Amino acid sequence: MPPALWVDINRLLVPFGKHIRIGRLPYCCTCPVLGYCRQVGVVAHR
Protein backbone atom coordinates (compact mmCIF):
# COMPACT_ATOMS: atom_id res chain seq x y z
CA MET A 1 0.00 0.00 0.00
CA PRO A 2 1.45 3.37 -0.95
CA PRO A 3 2.47 5.54 2.01
CA ALA A 4 0.30 8.35 0.67
CA LEU A 5 -2.79 6.27 1.56
CA TRP A 6 -1.73 5.23 5.06
CA VAL A 7 -3.57 8.02 6.89
CA ASP A 8 -6.83 7.43 5.01
CA ILE A 9 -6.67 3.65 5.44
CA ASN A 10 -5.87 4.06 9.13
CA ARG A 11 -9.01 6.19 9.57
CA LEU A 12 -11.03 3.27 8.21
CA LEU A 13 -9.28 0.35 9.92
CA VAL A 14 -9.04 1.71 13.47
CA PRO A 15 -12.82 2.11 13.96
CA PHE A 16 -13.37 -1.25 12.26
CA GLY A 17 -11.05 -2.91 14.76
CA LYS A 18 -12.62 -1.12 17.72
CA HIS A 19 -16.26 -1.77 16.87
CA ILE A 20 -16.49 -4.91 14.75
CA ARG A 21 -13.38 -7.05 15.09
CA ILE A 22 -13.04 -6.80 18.85
CA GLY A 23 -11.16 -9.33 20.95
CA ARG A 24 -12.36 -12.89 21.05
CA LEU A 25 -16.02 -12.29 20.17
CA PRO A 26 -16.20 -10.19 17.01
CA TYR A 27 -19.48 -8.83 15.68
CA CYS A 28 -19.50 -10.92 12.51
CA CYS A 29 -23.22 -10.33 11.96
CA THR A 30 -22.60 -6.61 11.29
CA CYS A 31 -19.29 -6.92 9.44
CA PRO A 32 -19.37 -5.29 5.99
CA VAL A 33 -16.63 -7.60 4.67
CA LEU A 34 -17.85 -10.91 6.10
CA GLY A 35 -18.14 -12.41 2.62
CA TYR A 36 -14.40 -11.96 2.14
CA CYS A 37 -13.34 -13.00 5.64
CA ARG A 38 -11.76 -16.39 6.34
CA GLN A 39 -12.45 -15.86 10.05
CA VAL A 40 -9.01 -17.18 11.01
CA GLY A 41 -8.91 -17.81 14.74
CA VAL A 42 -12.59 -16.99 15.26
CA VAL A 43 -14.19 -19.79 17.26
CA ALA A 44 -17.21 -17.83 18.49
CA HIS A 45 -18.84 -14.60 17.40
CA ARG A 46 -21.79 -12.37 18.22
Domain parsing of the chain, residue ranges: 3-36
pLDDT tens figures, 1-21: 899 999 999 999 999 989 998
The whole-model pTM stands at 0.65
- Gap between the Cα atoms of 23 and 45, Å rounded: 10
- Gap between the Cα atoms of 38 and 26, Å rounded: 13
**How confident is the model at residue 9, as a pLDDT?**
95
Backbone Cα Rg of the chain: 12
**How confident is the model at residue 46, as a pLDDT?**
86
pLDDT tens figures, 24-43: 899 999 999 999 998 888 88
